[in-house]
Structure 1
Amino acid sequence: MSTPDRPFVSYHLWSLVAPATGQERWHCQMRRGFIKARQHEPQVKTLLAQATPPQRIGILAQKGVYEFHHHRHLLNQSDGVDKVAKLLKLSNFTDQVKQRVLHILQKYHNSPLLLGKRILQLTPGDEGFPKPIVIEQEDYCFRLYAAMDCVFIESDSTLHILDFKTGKSAFDRRQALVYLLAAHYLYPGKTAVASFYNLEIGKKSDLITINNHELTSLEFDLANIAHKHQEDLHKYQLENSNFSQIFPPNPGNHCRFCPFNSICEFAESKPSNFSLMPIIKNIN
């Protein structure tokens, strides 16, 4: 049985604990502290609730793909894009958001990637937290959260996990690895691959696979991340005045893109109008 006090991990947490390759100089542990340790404080809660234009575009784009396949006849109608735009209530958003999402919808309507696929799962992107996968081994136990955008079956019965991107967000292989570990438990015995697809520019990633030895190693690494983060949370709960020691800052020009710039005493520059951080689902 899953219990709330068990350590947890997700790709989002992994990305907060350790930077992607090449992003080390911009990585700040204090951001993890605000998101994971202080998320219930009124000021932090307010900032977390403010979706940036890139985040809105990502969510609306995925919901658009969902609506196209939920109402499949719209893919064959000349006014299908307009009808999906109405379902998304695009008129309620800024011109910047509306125009970019309309471009994505038109691009998908012209070349629907999932048309004819045996889709097992396609989420609208605003469904909330997925049910955790409880992973128990002799040496560790943790909850794994993996919100997968789309899962479908290839013609050779391979399970294909597809993650949608928008904007200039880089493909982070670690996210695919987390999904493949989740698939190992959710679809036991199935051969699985994972990939990314940028809905805005039509770019596909290479297929990503993992063998059993790599799965075991990944699971062990994620267990360590989960337990390390749990320890940090516990330290902060015992003595919240040690916030900057537990979650050390890394100030620099990149502070202007941080959503917590306005409340962080270590921030080096003024807040930007919106964050340029990659769009990542905030799981747990």
Structure 2
Amino acid sequence: MSDSDTLSEALQEKARAELGEKVEWRERDIQALRDLVKADLELYCPHEDDAFLLMFLRARKFDYDSAAKLIHRYFEVRVEYEDFYKGFRPSMAKSLYEKGLYVRLPRIKETDPQPVLTRVGNWDVETHTMEEVLRGNIIQIEKLIRIKENQVTGVVLLMDLNGITWSHAKQANPFLAKRIMSIIQHAMPCRVKGMHYINVPHFFDYVFGIAKQFMTEKLRNRIHTHVTPETLKDHFDLEMLPDFLGGKYDIEPIAKEWAQEMLDSEQDFVAREKYGIRKVDAVSSNQGNSADAAGGITGTFKKLNVD
């Protein structure tokens, strides 16, 4: 595999400098990870898909063992949090996307992290729970990390809290916070380069305090809070921001475009549902058969203890 012709020279240089990625070593690196994944008898995944493996290599800076463990965790968490991942597709959050809750913002420089905005104030607590809103965000991040440019640059998450009330905030709880932080930090091939909370209300410390205890020190150091959008200019080019955050453009056309792009990617998510974790005893009794006649996983899922 070689995507050097689709990654620009600037991104190739960024990948080399920050991730230790070298185009001339790519086949060797992918094969090394493939061998580790194939040796994991509990795991049924698309190990013949070079792009899939490369995504995890980039997320772990080409450390083979760490990338292999991340792949295992990526599928393992779908068993551990089975209720969260049931029907894990864009259609699950269709109404949230159509309300413009999530928006992929324009990237000014190709080597900058991909900015993504969540307009939390667009969340109607009468129709959706906090878990549903967070799941919709995880689904969009899942789509974003399948784009090779984003694997190199990482993503930066902006949360506009304008309009949220205590009715929104009181749904936060340690169980949900631990689950989301566990997924983002330890079960997705995602490099979060920053998290910016904008228009923070007076009760923000309550919500953030719950989540903060489950963040790694690395992520905590990448958190920024903004009482007003005014301080965003210290971090971002104003051309990247919509008018209500100090920029100049109307966000609604972009929001509609991103919502449609998310919904159009439904089958990409469906295709990955056949992969997962299986019991070793089921594997050993079905050597050579990675899937049943229907294309699903042979054997039973391994159930894990949830803290």
> TM-score range, shorter-chain basis?
under 0.3
TM superposition score normalised by structure 1: 0.27
Which structure's relative contact order is higher, taking Cα pairs within 8 Å and 6+ residues apart?
A: 1
TM superposition score normalised by structure 2: 0.26
* Higher percent of residues as helix: 2
